[in-house]
Amino acid sequence: MATPRAEHHIAGQAVPDTASGATIEISNPATGAPVGVVPMSSVEMADRAVAAASDAVEGWGSTPVGDRVQCLFRYKQILEANINDIADIVVEEHGKTKAEAIGSLRRGIDCIEFATSAPVLMMGRTLPQIAVSTSFCRTEDEGGVGIDSQVDRVPLGVCVGITPFNFPVMVPMWMWPISVACGNTFVLKPSERDPFSTMAEIELTKDAGFPPGVINMVHGGPDVSNRLITHPDVSAVSFVGSTTVGEHIYKTATAAGKRVQCMCGAKNHSIIMPDANKDAAIDGVLGSAFGNTGQRCLAGSVVVCVGDAGDWLVPGLVERAKNIKVGPGGESGVSMGPLVNADARDRSLRYIDEGVEAGATLALDGRACQMPSEGCFVGPTIFDHATADMSIVREEIFGPVLSIVRVKTLDDAIETVNRSEYGNMSVIFTDSGHTARRFQRTVQAGMLGVNVGVPAPMAAFPFAGWKKSFYGDLHANGEDSVRFYTKSRVLVTRWL
């Protein structure tokens, strides 16, 4: 059977890329079996997608919002019916376990449900009789003419989304459903590393009744991204990915006059207090560090143990992590799949070498774990006695490598967390409300958690980090996303 070639989705049609440009071959990271070929499209293809989105802007923007969200209601039903098949594609091309793939799709569906509330979310506000004008009164007795003021929220036009490999179905759903519910049209450029599940997600929009051009997708790499973010007909750009690329996207797109939000990289710290519930802390840290094989912007990859907390936490973590079954994500009993590709695997292996060289104690060596000899696997790895200056503590590894830093006091722990140049999320495990409150008020991160491993994004709440984890103003999801994908318009009325 011929290897499938990823197709674009433009003006409601699957569009094959017949150009003879560069391509990327995608293979299953667990087995090496070929999955498909992705075209690194030309800027002309990006222009074609923007042209289709521009053609649809006026009609879609003036379609009543109640009619727009009917397409999302239908889409949700279609997606629910196909959730299993799409999860299989995620497992095949990305390597997640089936449970992780289904979980990520569920979180995406939450975003669709949130977007169906657009008739309420987009509502404006009115203040009647904000002032009285006397200049055009017919008689003195009239006392003046009332002035009313109102603010509406209106769509922006064509919006662009550029997404990373680690959640190929969910992250696009932070963007396009709420954007189109608000009356915009959309062009998505998915990651070139696992675009087939995103393609399946977008292909299903065809049957939901969206008019042609409302949702478009074009494959490619930096050339396509850079054309989309500077295209004169594009109004806004949402980006999720690494900090280096996010900084570039933010600077370039804002200089081109676009509204931009960039959700970027991370190095998340969890604080464990001596009074924490031991089982909950061990459970939370394991899930946070090794879930999704550490390829998560919310992965808690550094744990700061206060006082003697490390004395029970580290043996507990090692004991549990040793029993994590590593293998192909589709196999039953497997709870940790491979990394997305050989580069990602080699990156994790390089950091393990660096940790050893820097003098951290290798409490669990993921290179020696029982796992398939072929494929992009690295087992759960735990470094104890790491220090804040080591690369394994400072830099985003994006793999299953956890570093434990031991400190004396809560203040030392907070200082360690705040020294990071990132600020996506931080959590604390403690039994003390006073300690939790101090953490909440002093830690510099956009997403905080108390006694949870991951303060996961919820569709109804804004989601993003601080510092180098985010560039922009309005975050993804929640009310922020409605404000991001609309602009306000004020009307002042006086009837003479």
Task: Select 153 or 248, whichever has its Cβ closest to ligand NAD.
Answer: 248
Q: Which residue is nearest to ligand NAD (CB)?
A: 241
Task: Give the binding range for ligand NAD (CB under 6 A) out of 4-12, 122-130, 241-249, 278-286.
Answer: 241-249
Question: Could you say which of 15, 162, 273, 304 contacts ligand NAD (CB under 6 A)?
Answer: 162
Rg of the chain taking only CA atoms, in angstroms = 25
Task: Select 160 or 208, whichever has its Cβ closest to ligand NAD.
Answer: 160
User: In the range 244-263, which residues lie near ligand NAD by CB under 6 A?
Assistant: 245, 248, 263
How big is the site for ligand NAD, counted in residues (CB under 6 A)?
28
C-alpha to C-alpha distances, 288 to 43, 223, 452, nearest whole angstrom: 39, 34, 9
Task: Give the binding range for ligand NAD (CB under 6 A) out of 157-165, 282-290, 330-338, 437-445.
Answer: 157-165
Closest distance between ligand NAD and the C-beta of residue 230, in Å?
11
Q: Is 292 in the site for ligand NAD (CB under 6 A)?
A: no
The reply to whether 369 belongs to the active site is no
Residues sharing a CB contact under 8 Å with residue 294, sequence separation 6 or more, in sequence order: 301, 348, 397, 398, 399, 400, 401, 402
Return the sign of the alpha-carbon dihedral for residues 216, 52, 212, 3. Answer: negative
Instruction: Please identify which of the residues 111, 182, 262, 297 carries the catalytic annotation.
Output: 297
Pick left, alpha or beta for residue 459 (phi over 0 → left; psi -120 to 50 → alpha; otherwise beta). alpha
Residues sharing a CB contact under 8 Å with residue 64, sequence separation 6 or more, in sequence order: none
189 in Cβ contact with 217 (< 8 Å)? yes
CA 463 – CA 476 distance, rounded (Å): 5
The alpha helices in 23-94, defined as continuous H runs, are: 43-61, 65-94
384 φ/ψ angles, rounded to the nearest 5 degrees: -105, 165
Task: Give the binding range for ligand NAD (CB under 6 A) out of 26-34, 82-90, 218-226, 434-442.
Answer: 218-226
End-to-end Cα, the chain, rounded Å: 75
User: In the range 165-204, which residues lie near ligand NAD by CB under 6 A?
Assistant: 165-166, 171, 189, 191-192
Contacts with ligand NAD, 34-73, as mask; x by CB under 6 A: ----------------------------------------
Closest distance between ligand NAD and the C-beta of residue 470, in Å?
7
Residue among 170, 164, 31, 38 nearest 100 (CA): 170
Q: Is 107 in the site for ligand NAD (CB under 6 A)?
A: no
Q: One-letter amino acid identity for 360?
A: A
Residues forming the site for ligand NAD (CB under 6 A)? 162-166, 171, 189, 191-192, 221-222, 225-226, 240-242, 245, 248, 263-266, 297, 396, 398, 424, 465, 469
The residues annotated as belonging to the active site are 297
